[in-house]
Chains A and B, each alone.
Chain A
Amino acid sequence: MTILVIAEHTNAALAAATLNTVAAAQKIGGDIHVLVAGANAGAAAEAAAKIAGVAKVLVADNAAYANQLPENVAPLVAELGKGYSHILAAATSNGKNILPRVAAVLDVDQISEIIAVESADTFKRPIYAGNAIATVQSSAAIKVITVRSTGFDAAAAEGGSATVEAVSGPADAGKSAFVGEELAKSDRPELTAAKIVVSGGRGMGNGDNFKHLYALADKLGAAVGASRAAVDAGFVPNDMQVGQTGKIVAPQLYIAVGISGAIQHLAGMKDSKVIVAINKDEEAPIFQVADYGLVADLFEAVPELEKLV
């Protein structure tokens, strides 16, 4: 049994989610190969070769793979994947974009966002916004799976010494082209990897008031998230959204400020170890999942909290 893990990377660096995906592969058992598809992705490939438990790194270096366009990368993965028992990718926007296309080429069903490995063919995954956990079994010859990063502890980034092998694949399919991207800049830890997350909702009132959360987050070394209400109201950019349709986080501490706690938001954070809710409405559903609830005006409580931590 050999498992192919599709690396999540920016060509220059490996994304942390790859380590969680390798950890999931280790739970399945077998040799683990990592595919780095990109352009000038030597640095990412070197990083992948150092991950503990990885036997081989395949590098497909081609300008067509530079921006991870699924029309170009999926045929490559499907072609290489034919020799493997499992193909895994992180359930990031890239993984979700590419892997179902691979599964369809291979004519197998995909299993999305697993949170646990029961055996080599049986996995657990959340459905209905995390309100139910399904145990699913695959009889496919090649099991195509995306992995929810928060479900697995990261594999060690150092300690491995995998061989690196260059591979080639199909050229540009000519169906799509990368035009540009606009990335939000932040000095704070990445939302999905942060140990502490401070999130604001509609109760923040406006985007300017998020400065209270930024101040608290900087004191705690935390990332700042938001509910969909805060994003839709234009308070903060949408890549800060935590929830069923945004990012899934499971930090040590999640502080929800001015967030009512709709089902869709809870789907993104209810696996956090400790949840704190600060809300002036004591009936807010967020208090049903909070370990510590404080019924208070956030504009008084948050600055006070910042002073005391």
Chain B
Amino acid sequence: MKVLVAVKRVVDYNVKVRVKADNSGVDLANVKMSMNPFCEIAVEEAVRLKEKGVASEIVVVTIGPATAQEQLRTALALGADRAILVESNDELNSLAVAKLLKAVVDKEQPQLVIMGKQAIDSDNNQTGQMLGALTGFGQGTFASKVEVAGDKVNVTREIDGGLQTVALNLPAIVTTDLRLNEPRYASLPNIMKAKKKPLETLTPDALGVSTASTVKTLKVEAPAARSAGIKVKSVAELVEKLKNEAKVI
């Protein structure tokens, strides 16, 4: 079966971002960008399904600026077969992204769509679920285990109190949680080979999708800074401070 994996180019998770002085956003100039960690897990899961003989083709898609090709090449080096870039320089909300992905799903007709549960920049946790509504597919969000069995996929999900397993009819959407797998690294020969794999570029217009949004960001601020703490010398002093100064125990 064909698997579609959606990935996003985001600021690297190790970077401590800074808010711009004019409060228009965070400063992303000259900051290291990477594939969103949850998307890496999605790519890895698709590759493992292919290695097991369950998936026959892996198509990786991203929506973003031309530079997002780097993340597509990374996914190709990890084992995806071909890539689609929907090029847009606008900052898109999840609903617009879900609509663009819906158009790609219509075009590619995958049996399974795998994507991360959330992007670490916007922290929205919406796109997979929205794509579920738009396509009418079942959704297995926050997946920590995925098993394809015949025309169904069993997804074990991380929920607040523990784990839940659901069975979804294919085609379906799975969003990955951290413990689904440990993503591999791309080897140098595979990085070289990935340069020759096909990469198709589309635009929202060509897909006939409007990316207008009903939500706009008015300003972005740094969170309130915590006042500097103190170091205590002993456990006794710590207990004394907690009891008498902070009064929390």
Quick check: is A82 within 8 A (CB to CB) of the other chain? no
- Given A105-B133, A109-B213, does the pair A245, B219 have CB atoms closer than 8 Å? no
Q: Is the CB of B223 within 8 A of A131?
A: yes
Interface of chain B residues 9 through 55 with chain A (CB within 8 A): 11, 13-14, 16-17, 19, 26
Q: Give how many A residues have a beta carbon under 8 Å from the other chain's beta carbons.
A: 88
- Tell me if B246 counts as interface (CB < 8 A to partner A): yes
How near does chain A come to B31, taking the closest CB pair, in angstroms?
11
Whether the pair B130, A100 counts as a contact (CB closer than 8 A) is: yes
Binds B, one of A56-64, A137-145, A161-169: A137-145
Task: Give the complex CA separation of A181 and B220 in angstroms.
Answer: 40
By a CB distance below 8 angstroms, the chain B residues around A239 are 158-162
B214 touches A138 (CB 8 A): yes
Return B237 CB to nearest CB of chain A, in Å: 8
- A174, B239: Cα distance in complex, Å: 57
Confirm or deny: B146 has a beta carbon within 8 angstroms of a beta carbon on chain A: no
Which listed residue, B127, B139, B161, touches A71 by the CB 8 Å rule?
Answer: B139
Nearest CB on B from A102, distance (A): 8
Q: How far is the CB of B133 from chain A (nearest CB, A)?
A: 4
- A132 x B222 contact (CB < 8 A): yes
Residues of A within 8 A of B154 (CB): 179
* A-contacting residues, B138-175, CB 8 Å: 138-139, 141-142, 144, 154, 157-169, 172
A71 to B140, CA, bound (A): 10
Is B109's CB within 8 Å of the partner chain A? no
| Contact in complex: A136, B164 (CB < 8 Å) | no
- A252-268 interface mask toward B, CB cutoff 8 Å, 1 = contact, 0 = none? 11000000000110000
Contact A112 B124 (CB under 8 A): yes
Residues in A whose Cβ lies below 8 Å from that of B166: 69, 176-179
Complexed CA–CA distance, A220 and B138 (Å) = 43
Task: Check if B246 sits within 8 Å of A274, measured CB to CB.
Answer: yes
Q: Which of A94, A183, A276 contacts B162 (CB 8 A)?
A: A183
Chain B residues with CB under 8 Å of A309's CB are: 239, 242, 249
Interface centre among A127, A138, A247, A274 (most CB of B within 10 A): A127
Measured between beta carbons, the chain B residues less than 8 angstroms from A101 are 129-130, 132-133, 139
CB distance from A139 to the nearest CB of B (A): 5
- Quote the shortest CB–CB distance from B74 to chain A (angstroms): 21
Query: Is the beta-carbon distance between A137 and B223 smaller than 8 angstroms?
Result: no
Whether B130 contacts A104 by the Cβ 8 Å rule is: yes
A203 to chain B, nearest CB (A): 16
CB distance from A298 to the nearest CB of B (A): 11
Contact indicator B220/A127 (Cβ below 8 Å): yes
- Contact A139–B158 (Cβ < 8 Å): no
CA distance A143 to B17 in the complex (A): 29
Cβ of B235 < 8 Å from any Cβ of A? yes
Chain B stretch 193-240: residues in CB contact (< 8 A) with chain A? 213-223, 226-227, 229-232, 234-236, 238-239
Interface size of B by CB at 8 A reads 80
Chain A proximity of B134: nearest CB distance (Å): 6
A135 touches B217 (CB 8 A): yes
Q: Is A70 a contact partner of B132 (Cβ separation < 8 A)?
A: yes
From B58-66, B81-89, B93-101, the one touching the partner chain is: B93-101
- Chain B's closest residue to A105 (CB) is B133
B179/A238 in contact, CB under 8 A: yes
Known contacts being A70-B132, A177-B167, A182-B162, is A109 close to B142, with CB within 8 Å? no
Instruction: Answer whether A108 and B214 are a contact pair too, CB < 8 Å, given A135-B221, A179-B165, A183-B161.
Output: yes
In the complex, A231→B118 CA distance in Å?
Answer: 19
Q: B133 touching A104 by the CB < 8 A rule?
A: yes
- Contact pick for A232, options B94, B131, B137, B179, CB 8 Å: B179
Please encode chain A, from 101 to 142, with 1 for each CB lying within 8 Å of some chain B CB and 0 for all others. Answer: 111110111111100000000100011111111111111100
Check B1 for interface membership: any CB of A closer than 8 A.
Answer: no
**A293 — nearest CB in chain B belongs to which residue?**
B231
Q: Which of A111, A133, A182 contacts B222 (CB 8 A)?
A: A133
In contact, B218 and A122 (Cβ under 8 angstroms): yes
A294-B121 contact in complex given A111-B215, A128-B26, C-beta closer than 8 Å: no
Q: Does B248 contact A (CB under 8 A)?
A: yes
Binds B, one of A20-28, A31-39, A40-48, A283-291: A283-291
- A196 an interface residue at 8 Å Cβ cutoff? yes
Chain A nearest CB from B82 CB (Å) reads: 27
Is A92 located at the chain interface by the 8 A CB criterion?
Answer: yes
Please state if B229 and A287 are interface contacts (CB–CB under 8 Å). yes
Q: Which residues of B contact A184 (CB under 8 A)?
A: 161-162
Known contacts A69-B166, A110-B126, A112-B125; is-contact A292 B229 (Cβ 8 Å)? yes
Give complex CA distance A252, B139 in Å: 37
Known: A231-B179, A232-B178. 8 other contacts (CB 8 A): A100-B127, A101-B130, A134-B220, A139-B214, A179-B154, A245-B117, A309-B239, A309-B242
A to B CB contacts below 8 Å, 21 in the list: A71-B139, A94-B160, A103-B126, A110-B126, A128-B120, A133-B221, A137-B215, A174-B169, A175-B136, A175-B138, A178-B166, A181-B164, A182-B163, A239-B161, A252-B248, A263-B16, A273-B246, A275-B226, A276-B238, A293-B229, A309-B249
